[in-house]
């Protein structure tokens, strides 16, 4: 079970809702992914205008936890304003804090992210900050009392996979709250690796929405995350420098 604040989920795949070819494909992808948490940018979703097309209107929203995110915010104050708007719409008391500090890399601004997280915790939100793979920042956020940490595997939409596995392993090692690897996942093997490393979940969007067959890729990501988690729980064998026979000969009679 993935536990975030007072929420519990059996799925460890968090799915973004942007850039799908159309709502029908998106719905099918969401269905096969069996994801229970869908994230969306409050500023891009027409949540307050019933007449406008809105992906959420295609879903039985009672089956999902909708995780609003503060995409588009450049400052802590903007992020807090967006989070409050989302809460006012009655969707969820969880918020993914996304404060972007640089337009080209879309990397999060560490100082504004920390500030926004502190302000949102004080307002009673369940706070999930999207961070870089900075080990100390993850620790500082955790010490503030955030409910999960979401380090990027690589910049949003790049599909580069986990570019700094060492940092990610340090973040996971020291974590006292769930670690959700967020952004930059390109292939199912990236998601499986994150889970094998001990991440508690994976948030992804572009790898599915931009795939040639988004529905099949959603299924592949679901299976990869399940396989990675099972592998982590099973405990992989240590890597060795030299070979050891898979069928040892000790105890066998000579013929």
Burial profile 54-71: b = 16 or more Cβ within 10 angstroms, e = fewer: bbbeebeeeebbbbbbbb
The annotation places the binding site for 1-deoxy-D-xylulose 5-phosphate at: 157, 183-184, 205-206
Annotated catalytic, 139?
A: no
Judged by beta carbon, residue 58 or residue 122, the one nearer ligand DXP is 58
Q: Are 152 and 121 in contact (CB under 8 A)?
A: no
Q: What is the smallest separation between the CB atom of 128 and ligand DXP, expressed in angstroms?
A: 10
Residue listed under structure tokens 């060492």: 166
Q: What is the smallest separation between the CB atom of 103 and ligand DXP, expressed in angstroms?
A: 14
Judged by beta carbon, residue 202 or residue 245, the one nearer ligand DXP is 202
| Residues at the interface with ligand DXP (CB under 6 A) | 16, 18, 39, 69, 71, 156-157, 182-185, 203-207
Q: What is the smallest separation between the CB atom of 249 and ligand DXP, expressed in angstroms?
A: 49
Judged by beta carbon, residue 114 or residue 150, the one nearer ligand DXP is 150
Separation in Å, CA 56 to CA 15, 18, 133: 13, 12, 31
Catalytic residue among 27, 84, 87, 96: 96
State whether the Cα torsion 157-180-96-3 is positive or negative. positive
Encoding tokens for residue 198? 């001990």
The annotation places the binding site at: 157, 183-184, 205-206
Judged by beta carbon, residue 44 or residue 122, the one nearer ligand DXP is 44
Residue 10: how many CB atoms within 10 A of its CB? 8
Please give the torsion angle defined by the CA atoms of residues 8, 14, 20 and 24, in that order, rounded to the nearest 10 degrees.
-30
Q: Are 171 and 136 in contact (CB under 8 A)?
A: no
- For ligand DXP, the nearest residue by Cβ is 16
Q: What is the smallest separation between the CB atom of 57 and ligand DXP, expressed in angstroms?
A: 19
Q: Known catalytic residues? A: 96
């Amino acid at each position: 079970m993935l536990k975030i604040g007072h929420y519990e989920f059996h799925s460890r795949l968090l799915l973004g809702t942007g850039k799908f070819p159309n709502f029908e494909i998106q719905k099918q992808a969401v269905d096969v992914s069996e994801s229970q948490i869908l994230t969306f940018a409050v500023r891009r979703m027409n949540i307050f205008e019933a007449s406008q097309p809105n992906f959420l209107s295609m879903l039985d929203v009672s089956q999902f936890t909708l995780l609003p995110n503060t995409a588009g915010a450049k400052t802590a104050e903007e992020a807090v304003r967006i989070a409050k708007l989302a809460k006012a719409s009655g969707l969820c008391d969880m918020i993914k804090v996304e404060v972007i500090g640089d337009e080209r890399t879309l990397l999060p601004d560490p100082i504004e992210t920390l500030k926004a997280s502190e302000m949102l915790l004080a307002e009673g939100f369940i706070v999930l900050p999207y961070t870089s793979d900075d080990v100390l920042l993850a620790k500082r956020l955790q010490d503030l009392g955030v409910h999960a940490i979401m380090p990027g595997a690589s910049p949003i939409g790049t599909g580069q996979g986990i570019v700094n596995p060492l940092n990610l392993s340090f973040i996971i090692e020291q974590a006292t709250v769930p670690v959700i690897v967020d952004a930059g996942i390109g292939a199912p093997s990236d998601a499986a690796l994150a889970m094998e490393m001990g991440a508690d979940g994976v948030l992804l969007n572009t790898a599915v929405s931009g795939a040639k067959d988004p529905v099949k890729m959603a299924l592949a990501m679901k299976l990869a995350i399940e396989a990675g988690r099972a592998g982590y729980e099973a405990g992989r064998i240590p890597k060795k420098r030299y070979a050891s026979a898979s069928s040892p000969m000790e105890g066998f009679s000579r013929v």
